[in-house]
Copies of this chain bind each other. A is one copy, B any other.
């Protein structure tokens, strides 16, 4: 036995010495050829076994031993070159600093992993050019599928990217859809999410309610605004957009932010500086909620007591601040899982009818303020 091992090491060494020493890095890995030589079986047989094929029991042992002794590891580049598949999925996010996305990715990754795929995450850090670049790089790198939380990219660009390979790149949008881009998507029922939030504020007696939404070209933001409008309409409250201040400026109760911390912070202050500020507020994503909460704190405004408040996503936060905040929670785990499942089907080549648009329900953590 020891004999065999020593012999193997000799073979290995001599093979390595045979390698040209010209390359940049001295690549000295064993290949399937070495396994073939060492085991005395043909290349084809080794490959077949390595890919789950049947070989005689005796040969299986020979191969296993050869692999072990030589420290053979499959070269995924070579395999991918041949098979045109990488068994990897690219995930593209606006940022990695929001726990909301982290949670989505976590269950997405798990779902994909169970099917043998590895997922790689990139963030474009809210940068328009970077978003495109990351998508292109992923396509070029031959991922087998893409999960995308899109922000700036256009339908045209997405179509171009999706078709930049021979076959159409499987792709799933998460959290947001892009108008004009026909694609599988996992989103939440944004309209009813804000509808419910605003309804809750109305039921608490509020009639003068403001909302901070994101950029309206992001589907999510737009839908959330519509939910707000509809709730007010259904309860017979006028959506106030007319001028009210003495200087003739609008006192718009729909403030449009950029989905970031500063937006929430700034717009909250805008609201409070109005001549006739709203008595309740709905803030529609994680970062803006954080911003608004911060601004409120700095102004010594107690949310829930001094004004009605419903935030989004910041579930941890609402346990911490006092009194606890009402928060719309999105089913992040489920979103990730569904995204994975749909993508897997596409990558398996299943031709599902039409694009799959899965719309999940959000949950309103309703916290009533008591003295």
* Residues of chain A at the chain B interface (Cβ within 8 Å): 23-29, 71, 73-78, 80-81, 83-86, 88, 95-99, 101-103, 105-106, 109-110, 118-123, 125, 134, 137, 139-142, 164-167, 261, 290, 293-294, 297-298, 316-317, 319-322, 349
Q: Which residue of B lies closest to A105 (CB)?
A: B96
A-B contact pairs, 28 of them (CB 8 A): A23-B84, A24-B349, A27-B165, A73-B141, A74-B140, A75-B81, A75-B141, A76-B140, A77-B77, A77-B80, A77-B86, A77-B141, A78-B81, A81-B81, A88-B142, A95-B102, A96-B101, A96-B105, A96-B121, A97-B103, A98-B99, A99-B99, A106-B123, A106-B125, A109-B125, A297-B319, A297-B322, A317-B320
Q: How far is the CA of A209 from the CA of B126 in the complex (A)?
A: 42
A29 to chain B minimum Cβ distance, whole angstroms, is 5
Chain B residues with CB under 8 A of A97? 99, 102-103, 106
Chain B residues lying within 8 Å of A164, measured Cβ to Cβ, are 71, 73
Main secondary structure on A side of the interface with B: mixed
How many identical subunits does the complex contain?
2
A120 to B134, CA, bound (A): 10
What is the distance, in angstroms, from A98's C-beta to the closest C-beta of chain B? Answer: 7
Q: Which chain B positions have C-beta within 8 A of A298?
A: 319
A125 to chain B, nearest CB (A): 6
Contact in complex: A25, B123 (CB < 8 Å): no
Q: How far is the CB of A216 from chain B (nearest CB, A)?
A: 26
